[in-house]
Amino acid sequence: MTFNSNLNLLKAIGRTPCVKLENISKLTGHEVWAKLEFMNPGGSIKDRIAMYMIEKAEREGKIKPGDTIIENSSGNTAMGLAIVCRQKGYKLKIVIRDTTSKEKIKMLEIMGVDVIKVNAALPPEHPDSYNNFAEKYAAENPGVFYIDQHNNLDNNEAHYMSTGPEIWQQMNGRIDYFVAGVGTGGTCTGAGRYLKEQDPGIAVIGVDPVGSIFYDYFKQKKLVKPSRYLIEGLGDEFLIKTAQLEMLDDMIQVTDKQAIEHTFLLVAQEGILSGGSSGANIYGVVTLAKKIRKPSVICTVICDSGYKYLSTVYNDDWLTANNLI
């Protein structure tokens, strides 16, 4: 056996395994596969966009080593950016909701990130809210580059260029449905667009939490008032450029409780410890499977590892306090 020992850390991003979920396949009566994105160096799918967006900004002359980058993130994009910035010599500021898991915040602080915690209860239109703080800070501080994963279409392009082709190759073109949560929408619509170009018969199904505005807008073109939800990394209070909902064939709505239940289902059936957004994806798979009449091949994404959620998703006190058990 030979090993490639010439890789630097950034070259280890991507090319993650895609595995058959044997027991969930039996449970649903369909062939279910999952791409294990927690095997990226930063532990999540967001490593892909962090590297791609920074390297594209470098090529376009927008940033140079020594500059400061700022982004608002639920934690995973932040960790990906922290790794890339460490490797390339950038300073990093991350705006994060104060409800984000302690593990994510602590890891960022250990990585030397300037973590700016904002009040998650602030209305989305507030200038100091999670949605607006980073953009405002960059506008007021020349020399600070705002990545803007929620509106920068390089996010989608990253998945079009890497995640989508990897899934197509790993599945040998055998795929009927691609199911993925919509946070920024980059994964679902970027990879989904690539897959549809290879086979227009592939259906792309988005998953959105109750409290987000995407589901109602997709179904009825209706903008509802957002409400608070607990699953990190999914949904939004605004329509954003990267959530290209027109790419989707359908959308499934998930409650916090359903997402958590299926996070535990993934552990019980497959031994995979994931975050709540992956549980939401599994809920989407199981819900979709009930509607499909003929045996089909479904592929989804395990977005990140459960080790980041030991104080929340896997903590009985947190679950009880939030009426999730």
Annotated catalytic residue 308: no
In the block, tokens 């999914």 appear at 234
- Please check whether residue 126 is in contact with residue 120, taking contact to mean a CB–CB distance below 8 angstroms: no
Annotated active-site residue in 46, 88, 104, 196: 46
User: In Å, what is the CA distance from 135 to each residue of 53, 113, 203, 249?
Assistant: 16, 18, 35, 32
Residue type, 143: G
CA separation for the pair 137, 77 (Å, rounded):
18
Closest CA to 57 of 140, 142, 147: 147
Phi, psi of 36, deg, nearest 5? -90, 85
CB atoms under 10 Å from CB of 212, counted, come to 25
Beta bridge partners of 178: 204, 299
- Residues with a catalytic annotation lie at 46
